[in-house]
Amino acid sequence: MNTTEYSARELLEIRGSVYYTLISLAIGVISISFQLSAQVPLRNTIMTIALSMCIITMGLLIRRGLRKRTRVIHYKWIAATVSITGTMGTKFTYAQNMDWTFAAQSYHLVGITIALLILLQFLYDRNIYRVFSVAVFVSWIVFLLMASHNGVVFHPRVVGPDGGFLHTDMQLHREVYFFMMMLAVAFISYQNIPNLELMVRIRTAELQKARDMLWGEMQLAKKIQTTLLPERPELSGYEITAYMEPAAEVGGDYYDVISVGGNDWIVIGDVSGHGVPAGLIMMMVQTSIHVALDQNRDLDPSGLLTVINRTITENVRKLNDDKYMTITVLAAHKDGRFVFAGLHQDILVYRASSAAVEVIETDGVWIGLMEDISGMIGNNSFTLDSGDVLLVYTDGITEAWSRGSRPGTRTPERDMFGAHRLSETLAALGARPTEEIRDGILQSLRQFECMDDVTMVVIRRV
């Protein structure tokens, strides 16, 4: 049995069904052996064999049902009923077929009854145990009363009237002792039955605690991530507004606006997937870019990506995770010229002179896949005139699905926000301030469900 397929509760019940079957087998063998040695009538022995086989069969059915995760409570009730009927019914059968004294003196049934009380706990059902343990004690008392009524004398003392030891198997103190012993066994067995509902509550509390701890760690990671992003990005000669909303508590999207050594840089990227691993790689990229630019301020965009790719590829390999990052780096110049490199989403430029949107394709290769990309990436450029607007973004916007659309029936052309809709939105809003452009895009997205991180940077040349 592959124990990883079952919960702790299921494993407990499966093992209990095995113990129940094995103990039932042992009780049956002992009872049959006694009856054969005591020369009990054959029909009684045959009945005991039949009852033992029935109980063992119920144990096997319970185990099979638990392994298949089917309902087995009816098997448990049948098993308990047959167990009680077989054990307690044997005493009354002895009394009817032989005599009440023989039945009362069959103390092997005391041991079997104690074993039965232990056996019932392995059904792991407190309701069943309560019902049938009470049935055992009631039937035991009823038998003693009926035995007394049918002429069996239970002597209340051990010492006779002449001061000598009273030789009799029917001593009242012995019956009381047996009764108290069975009561103690029943109480201990009942206490040993795991309260499965309590176990579920405890396990739920443990999971909630673990979730809260993980949630706290994720919140910390998110705080670190968002702290690394520019709070109020500024570019000399440009109006700029940025936005990022992770789909998970820690996102894989990354944007940055960097001013170092008199040079201005804009970075937009997206780590594959999202969550903690993607956020971790995003933070690695952010750190690598800042370190590279601090150490070599003469880097161009393609040179910057080539340098940081070596570090990121090595770290991704150490994480043993198939991650990569789409990224575009833009170097902004005071005269409105932008030099860029890296494969990411198309760059959208609103041209104020024509009120139209120009789509500029990015090219190159993703980072994190191979150590050396120096021959696979190059620099490109474009220019913003006064009033022109630059929009860079991640696919969390363009790949958002319309609300109410269903997987299997929806199509990208009809139900996805798409790059075309984003271009139309920018064309309609391009003459407005960058904050209003951002807000307008987010307003259009309200009719769509964003399954990934949403990031955009809007830049207007003043």
pLDDT at 444: 94
Average pLDDT over residues 201-221: 67
38 or 235, greater pLDDT:
235
**Could you give the percent of the chain with pLDDT greater than 70?**
81
pLDDT at 161: 53
Looking at beta carbons, which pairs linking 211-219 to residues 24 or more positions away fall under 8 Å? 215/249, 218/249, 218/250, 218/276, 219/249
pLDDT at 127: 83
Looking only at the bridges linking them, the beta strands covering 448-449 and 337-341 are unpaired
Cα distances from 322 to residues 372, 376, 390, 395, 412, in angstroms, run 17, 20, 32, 19, 26
Average pLDDT over residues 412-425: 93
Q: Which amino acid is at 27?
A: I
Q: Which of 19-28, 138-147, 174-183, 381-390 has the lowest mean pLDDT?
A: 174-183
**Triad 407, 412, 417: Cα angle to 5°:** 105
Q: How many residues does the chain have?
A: 462
DSSP state of 121: G
pLDDT 10s digits, 323-372: 899 999 999 998 999 999 999 999 999 999 999 999 999 999 999 999 99
pLDDT at 105: 64
Can you tell me the distance from the alpha carbon of 259 to that of 236, in angstroms, rounded to the nearest whole number? 10
pLDDT 10s digits, 277-302: 787 888 889 999 999 999 998 899 99
Average pLDDT over residues 120-148: 81
Which CATH superfamily does the domain covering 229-461 fall into? PPM-type phosphatase domain (3.60.40.10)
Confidence of residue 250 (pLDDT cuts 50, 70, 90): low
Can you tell me the distance from the alpha carbon of 318 to that of 315, in angstroms, rounded to the nearest whole number? 5
Q: Taking 50 as the threshold, does the pLDDT of residue 91 lie above it?
A: yes
Q: Taking 70 as the threshold, does the pLDDT of residue 390 lie above it?
A: yes
For 75, the token pair is 């098997």
Give first-to-last CA distance, the chain, whole Å. Answer: 71
Average pLDDT over residues 123-134: 82
Q: Which of 38-42, 176-180, 355-359, 399-403 has the lowest mean pLDDT?
A: 176-180
Pure H helices in 320-411: 395-398
SS3 458: strand
Residues of the chain with CATH 3.60.40.10: 229-461
Q: Taking 60 as the threshold, does the pLDDT of residue 170 lie above it?
A: no
For 68, the token pair is 């298949």
Bridge partners (DSSP) listed for residue 458? 241, 391
pLDDT 10s digits, 52-72: 888 888 888 888 888 888 888
Confidence of residue 104 (pLDDT cuts 50, 70, 90): low
Helix (H) or strand (E) holding 346, with range, is none
Average pLDDT over residues 98-102: 69
Q: Taking 90 as the threshold, does the pLDDT of residue 4 lie above it?
A: no
Bridge partners (DSSP) listed for residue 391? 348, 458
pLDDT at 167: 45
Q: Taking 80 as the threshold, does the pLDDT of residue 313 lie above it?
A: yes
DSSP state of 51: H
- Average pLDDT of every residue of the chain: 82
- The counts of H helices and E strands in the chain are 14, 12
pLDDT at 360: 97
pLDDT at 165: 45
SS3 333: coil
